[in-house]
Structure 1
Amino acid sequence: MNKNKLTRRDFLKMAGVTSAGLALSACGVDVTKLPDPTVTASITPFPTATQTPIPTPETLASLKDLEFWIDDFVNAHGGTIKVNETNMNARELTNKIRTNPESFTQTKLISSKEYSFLMVNDVPIGIAGGDKKWSESSLRILAELKGIELEFAWAGDDFLRQHNISSEKYVELSKLIGNSFIIGGGVQTQQVFQNFTTQDWQRVIKNWNDIKGQLQSNKVPSGYPYYLDYGKEMIRQVTIASVNENPKMRGLWLMHLGNGLDSIIKGSFSSQELSIILEFIIKSIVLSFPEINRWDATDELVNAYVTEEPDLRFWYQIFGKSPAQTSISDVADLMIVIAQWIKEANQNAEVIITEDAILDFNNAYAPWSINAFNDVLENISSKSQAHLFKGIDCEFNLWVYDGLDIEKMKANLDKWNNWGFHLYGSETMIVTGDTSIQRRTSGILSGKVDPIEQQDLMYKQLFQFYLDAQAPTFGFGELGDMDNWLEMGDDPLYNTAPGIFDVNYRKKSCYFVLAKTLFENL
């Protein structure tokens, strides 16, 4: 494979990853908060005060934003849509709603509170609470009502400028998703320690007793050439972009794949010395970014293990194992020890295991990863250490012509649950082109399905799977097609369109499929 190819890892080194949390105000869009639920209150006017008339809330018949919401919805379905057996364009549907808004309105009791919804073809378009003020029923608001977070890859300002992506529009779309961010670029081992030399690592070992005391006191050891600026900048960006400047954050790639830094490899360190170095790495990063309270202990570690590439088995030397000697038990032990170090640096941290293709049963390349990952989880469970982990984050690099085998996914999840693990989240991309992300050109559904309809179906199936599992998050590999990393770099995969927003920053039909699925589960 071309080593200059832009991979998911390279993309996220330049970009962050955002988890759409669910604070309820917006920037750049009209939605500012979740509509107030219907309440009954008695008001006793002050007898001597001059009363200012309260404006009557806009109705759907007069609502200015209605035409924009409907235009988005109809555009996502090709410019016309059939409603009650009649094909309509956006203007015709808007006029129909204004003429007879009651026929498009549905009330729903959610947590003992009543909300009104503007519905078109069973899809929620708008929402109003007890104050009767209408706002767009974005995925963010619907997810808040359901109690699930939505995740997507957040691209940093540099990446947006480099690829001529409107930062203003990008942030507006992110507000439709949420307020929790996962930071990829700037907090990973390869970047934080990129300026370290072999001599710096030797100093760490020499001064370990003093350093360990500082780490135990939650202090980052001083006098070392950490590169923290980019990570701090990413945190600054998501803080500004977030609602009320109060984001949640999750960090990636404390341990990605299992390969070591050149400056460490050149040191020919012993097993004990490598263990010291790795503990220093994990704890220093966690302590350097206290704003981040969720961390991936490992990313794609099992996928790297099954390749049997020696370079990707470097860190197992801390157990005295050569690449050829490394076993499933060692993979489990590496996950365990990293999780323990994260907890020692931040006892309140949530620790996640992230892997690719571990539920993708129709992917011809996936069985090795699925089987090995299950073996690792079972091994961790046998050592009574599953409690260290908040859950499993699944990278879904899916293809419409593979489809999903939901029944096998459910059966496999049952195994995880029996071992003490839970489904945490996802990084979902569903490619619609003629070639899969793995460069396959033939799938079990090739020539049998419409790619857009199949993408909609797979998003619905996968999202429902997560809702049924009561997973705390569900996510996307990027915000939309405009920042699709698959089509960037020296070896691009074109015509993939895996996201929920198109290249013109417009909602796609799969966006509304997710909205409908959320509504059905409220």
Structure 2
Amino acid sequence: MNKILLFLVLISLIITSCGEVSKPRPTATPTREVARGTSTPAVIVTPTDQTRPEPLAEAKDLPLWIEEFVHAYGGIVTVNNHHMDADQLLLEIQSNADQYIELKGINGMPTRFLVINGIPLAFQENGRWRESTMGWLGSQNGLVFTFQNDPIEPQLQQQALKKLCDGNCGIVVAGHLQINSVFRDFTTEDWGRILGNWDKVHSVMNAGQIPSGYAYSWADADQSMSMYKQMLGTVQWRAQHLLWPTIDNLTSSGYINEHSVTRQIYDMGFSAEENLKLLEFMVRSRVNRYPEIETWDVADEMVANFMTEIPDRRIWLTMTDLSLEDLIIKIAEWVKQGNPDSKTVINESGVFDHNNRWAGPIRTRTLLLLQNLNQAGAPVDGFVEQNNLWIGIGIDEDQMNEDIDYINGLGFELADSETMIAVGDISISGDTRKLYPVTGSNEKEAQAIMYQHLLSIYLSKGVTTFGFGGVSDANAWTNYNMPDADPLLFDDNFRPKPAYYATLQLLYEQLP
């Protein structure tokens, strides 16, 4: 019965739109009579450019959609066993539009899509054709895509951001709210003054305010967040780096800074109790300053650094004389004091990288950490796996499913990701042992398949956010030591890659 109804709807749409083929239109204007009652003459309604469905061949952005699509595959695509460049494919669609239009129900509403090789490039909304972006398709699947704020100004990424977000976006504030950014101008006298006036400082923070009289550096975060708000409108915010666990601190642009706030405090020789107070001050002042941030990382790569057994990478555990679990619980409690409605998450890398020979110990200790936090009733809501992956070793989908189920079973939401899937001859973790040798042009296709499979797993678990470690290869942090990794969905010129279109295909297939 559903197939019969769908067939009748399709026939009706084809008749009312006069088809999509490029035939000359008659000069006579079709009319339709609308009955208004027996005593009122019939009203003649003349279709206008605003009321008649727009033929696909006349969509003004159709050439752009085709050009971007073909460019992603090296300038030539194979459609119906024919190799075509952008101009040839455009002509083919304009001449035979009906062959490339699919009718798909979205929550029970039939919607027409332009589909090439299973990939939806556009859809018809209120009679007009518009681009079928990743952000829009994500919203139809109940999914928000997130990405890290980048040192490159957002204006340079505007077209890529439209495809990624399209009114449905989350941004992860990274280095701009790191300890070494916000507190970089604090002096040794400032730290001593905080401790000397602790009762007053603590009272101000308990009131949801920020202690005054200190040289906070909010400008980097404020400027970045303001630019994204202006460009994207409504944004969901998540912030990293309430605590960077090592003695070396990042600057707002991601580089290690010679001036380390952590080192400055360490060298002052405070007691463990005093160091804990200073850490509470640094956490709560940031949480109070940004109530719009909905999710806070209460631990960033703390397990990875803890596992190294290098003293500088365990410095805050040493300075506070707390266990890994107890320090994380403290930070989570401080966040909830400042914003009870916010989410708190653990952020680690390597837990789902099962084929990485160096990730096993991190995975084992992270799962133990989550188990211990669960048993302690810690106010931690979710887990973020960064997913720094590599096509050379792929992913173990069965093991990943098992681990996600275990984490969810402990009560932790799979809250987000910072996915980057590297190509080239070396993994993001430095591994060069390839299980799946892929070279040349096939690398981008392998990357696309991995992105598609990974997102499919996340969708099957009912996630509501899925994130990336950036927007484009032009500003991926891997460029500092792996310039050929090209791990993101957009290339150096902010144009979509096969991985982007593979994501569109999956989201289209998953439409409710």
Whichever residue aligns with residue 77 of structure 1, its letter is: Y
2:412 paired residue number:
421
Aligned with residue 207 of structure 1, among 192, 197, 220 = 197
Moved over 6 A (4+): 42-47, 49-53
CA distance in 1, matches of 2:96, 2:385: 44
Using the TM superposition, name which of 497-506 and 455-464 deviates more. Answer: 497-506
* Aligned match of 2:337: 344
Alignment of 1:97-116 (within 5 A): 97-116=93-112
Alignment of 1:85-484 (within 5 A): 85-129=81-125, 131-156=126-151, 159-160=152-153, 168-178=155-165, 179-243=169-233, 246-259=234-247, 261-317=262-318, 320-321=321-322, 330-385=323-378, 388-446=379-437, 450-484=442-476
Q: CA deviation at 1:145?
A: 0.5
Deviation at 1:499, TM superposition (A): 1.3
Query: Take 1:340 and 1:212, find their aligned partners in 2: how far apart are those partners?
Result: 14
The answer (yes or no) to whether the contact 1:151–1:474 under 8 Å persists in 2 is: yes
- Mapped to 2, the partners of 1:61 and 1:317 lie a distance apart of 67
The letter of the residue matching 1:247 is: V
Q: Is the 8 A contact 2:422 2:487 kept in 1?
A: yes
CA contact (8 A) 2:299 2:328 kept: yes
SS of the equivalent of 1:519 reads: helix
Distance 1:343 1:461 in 2: 35
Equivalent pair of 2:275/2:320 in contact (CA under 8 Å): no
SS at match of 2:386: strand
Q: Compared with structure 1, are the counterparts of its residues 44 and 121 closer, same or farther at alpha carbon in structure 2 (3 Å cutoff)?
A: farther
1:465-521 deviation line (CA, Å, top 9, x unaligned): 111111121121111112122223xxx322211111111222111100000011111
The structure-2 alpha-carbon separation of the partners of 1:195 and 1:76, relative to structure 1 and needing over 3 Å to count, comes to same
Once the two structures are superposed, residues 186-211 of structure 1 have per-residue CA deviations (whole angstroms, 9 ceiling, x without a partner) of 21212111112222122111211111
CA distance in 1, matches of 2:321, 2:444: 51
- C-alpha distance in 2, partners of 1:520/1:392? 27
Structure 1 residue 390: Cα displacement: 3.2
CA distance 1:278–1:50, shift in 2 (3 Å): farther
- CA deviation profile, 1:427-478 (whole Å, cap 9, x unmatched): 1111111122233322211358932221111111111011111112112111
In 2, Cα distance between equivalents of 1:112 and 1:97: 27
8 Å CA contact 1:427–1:475 kept in 2: the answer is yes
Counterpart residue identity of residue 496, structure 1: A
1:35-46 equivalence runs, <5 A: none
Contact kept? 2:143, 2:466, Cα under 8 Å: yes
1: CA distance, partners of 2:71 / 2:343: 40
CA deviation profile, 1:193-243 (whole Å, cap 9, x unmatched): 111222212211121111111111111011112111112111212112213
The aligned residue for residue 30 of structure 1 is none
Distance 2:155 2:207 in 1: 41
Shift of 1:262: 2.0
Matched, 1:508 2:497: yes
Report SS of the residue matched to 2:286.
Answer: helix
Which of residues 480, 486, 499 is equivalent to 2:478? 486
- Partner Cα distance (1:390, 1:132) in 2: 43
Identity across the alignment (%): 31
> For residues 463 and 382 of structure 1, what CA distance do their matches in structure 2 show?
30
d(CA) in 2 for partners of 1:223, 1:199 = 12
* Range with bigger deviation, 144-153 or 52-61: 52-61
Post-superposition offset of 1:409:
0.7
Aligned-partner Cα distance in 2 for 1:125–1:284: 45
The amino acid of 1:350's aligned partner reads K
Instruction: Give the superposition deviation at 1:319.
Output: 5.4
Deviates more, 1:254-263 or 1:344-353: 254-263
Partners of 1:361 and 1:404 within 8 A in 2: yes
Shift of 1:372: 0.7
Shift in Å at residue 119 of structure 1? Answer: 0.6
The separation in 1 between residues aligned to 2:217 and 2:363, in whole angstroms, is 36
Tell me the distance in 1 between the aligned counterparts of 2:164 and 2:298.
25
Unmatched runs of 5 consecutive residues or more in structure 1: 1-41, 161-166, 322-329
Residue 58 (structure 2) pairs with residue 62 (structure 1): yes
CA contact (8 A) 1:151 1:476 kept: yes
Q: Which SS does the other structure have where 2:365 is aligned?
A: helix
Quick check: 1:352–1:391 contact (8 Å CA) kept in 2? yes
Length-normalised TM-score, structure 2: 0.84
Residues 41-72 of structure 1, C-alpha deviations (whole Å, 9 max, x = no match): x998999x999974234210211211111111
| Matching residue's letter, 1:308 | E
Larger radius of gyration: 2
Structure 1 residue 135 displacement after superposition: 0.3
Q: Whole-Å Cα distance in 2 between the matches of residues 204 and 182 of structure 1?
A: 29
Q: How far did 1:172 drift?
A: 1.9
In 1, are the aligned partners of 2:178 and 2:241 still within 8 Å (CA)?
Answer: yes
Unaligned runs of 5+ in 2: 1-33, 248-260
Q: In structure 2, what is the Cα distance between the partners aligned to 1:44 and 1:441? A: 76
- List aligned pairs for 1:27-38, cutoff 5 A: none
Q: SS of the residue aligned with 1:176?
A: helix
